[in-house]
Amino acid sequence: MSSLRRTISDRINSALTEGALHLNRGEIIEIRDRTIGALWEIRKVASLRHKPTRIPSPPPTKNSTKDDETVRKSPFLPHDPKLHVRDHDEYRVLLNKFAVVRDHVLLVTKEFEEQEHLVLRDFEALSKLLLEWESKDFLVFYNRGANSGASQRHKHLQILPISRDVIFHHFTLPVLHHHVKVNDEGSPIISSGSTLYKHYEQCITSLSQSPHFDPVKSSFNMLLTNREMIVVPRKQAEIIDDSGAILSANAMGMAGFLLAKTDDEVEAWKRRDPISVLKELCYPAE
């Protein structure tokens, strides 16, 4: 275990003891979709019903501005010291307070920045962190925009270990997306920040040719593994099934990992088929 992962593990143990971390792995249900034949993981976590979609903030002061209020609503300003792993250049590494997978961490800007486009220094910080992760079995993801499944406006990348392969390594998602190869299969090499940023720009530039994607305004999910980077534009964050169940997905959904809060949602995912839902959440492939 790397020193970084050991530090994360120690912090998780103490945060759980102090009640600062809500780690609920839930019940895992696997289903094979009827469209491309991929195996999907649905994790039913009832406690997610209590996860706030926005962090409450104190009432505004007389002289406060809109920007002041945005910063006041950030769950990372100030951050919870019980979830703090370490500082990392202009960023902080924090535990995900509502994790369903152990070792799920956030790379958060120290100062408030909008959850907009990623820039070179974001990937430089990420690359340095992944070098210390010392495992090729990771998934990085980023949700940009209201329709992406993002719940916080303060810029943060998410990193977590994965125990099974992601869907887009083996299947082509039948929705609008662009992906680039990062490494050969099995390679332990972590790309430099500048290389990762070039891959990201390549994805954004390619998608900009589509009438469905506006690089300034569009919501999207970005996912990175040790093998590939993929960017998926998003049309909406959720749909309501005929049964009334709400089916939503952030970037994790594009990798084959879905979350459900109730049995009704699990059954709706099974009935609707994950790919058919993703086709409604995203734009058609071109």
Task: Name the token pair of 112.
Answer: 């408030």
DSSP 58: P
Q: What is the pTM of this model?
A: 0.91
Buried b / exposed e along 133-166 (16+ C-beta atoms within 10 A)? beebebbbbbbbbebbbbbbbbbbbbbbbbeeeb
Distance CA 39, CA 34 (A): 10
Cis before residue 78, ω within 30 degrees of 0? yes
CA distance 226 to 238: 29
Task: Give me the pLDDT at residue 63, please.
Answer: 47
> What pLDDT is attached to residue 6?
94
- Residue 183 binned pLDDT confidence (cut-offs 50, 70, 90): confident
pLDDT tops 80 at residue 201: yes
| pLDDT of amino acid 225 | 95
- Asked whether the beta carbons of 224 and 182 are under 8 A apart, the reply is yes
Give the pLDDT of residue 136.
85
pLDDT of residue 72: 61
pLDDT at residue 68, rounded to an integer? 60
- Res. 270: pLDDT tops 90: yes
| Alpha carbons 71 and 10: distance in angstroms, whole number | 30
- Average of per-residue pLDDT across 154-181: 95
Q: Side chain identity at 203, as an amino acid letter?
A: C
| Per-residue pLDDT band at 2 (split at 50, 70, 90) | confident
pLDDT confidence of residue 24: 87
163 pLDDT band, cuts 50/70/90, is confident
pLDDT tens, position by position, 33-89:
999 999 999 999 987 765 555 433 334 444 444 456 666 689 999 999 999 999 998
DSSP string, 130-193: HHHH--S-EEEEEEESGGGT---SB-EEEEEE-SS--GGGTS--SBS-EEEE-S-TT--PPPPH
pLDDT-based confidence at residue 233 (cuts at 50, 70, 90): very high
**Are the C-beta atoms of residues 233 and 212 closer than 8 Å to each other?**
yes
Q: Which pLDDT score, from 0 to 100, does residue 93 have?
A: 98
State the pLDDT at residue 134.
Answer: 82
How far is 153 from 134, CA to CA, in rounded Å? 29
Average model confidence (pLDDT) for the chain?
90
In 10 A of CB 194, how many CB atoms?
12
Instruction: Write down the pLDDT at residue 191.
Output: 85
Q: What DSSP string describes 65-107?
A: -HHHHHHHT-TTTT--GGGEEEEETTEEEEE-TT-SSTT-EEE
Q: What are 86-110's pLDDT values in tens digits?
A: 999 899 999 999 999 999 999 999 9
State the pLDDT at residue 243.
Answer: 93
Q: What is the pLDDT of residue 73?
A: 80
Give the per-residue pLDDT at 278.
97
Which of the two residues, 51 and 126, has the higher pLDDT score? 126
- The reported pLDDT for the residue numbered 58 is 39
pLDDT band at 227 (very low <50, low <70, confident <90, very high): very high
* pLDDT score of 60: 44
Distance CA 100, CA 229 (A): 23
Kindly state the average pLDDT of the residues 187-196. 85
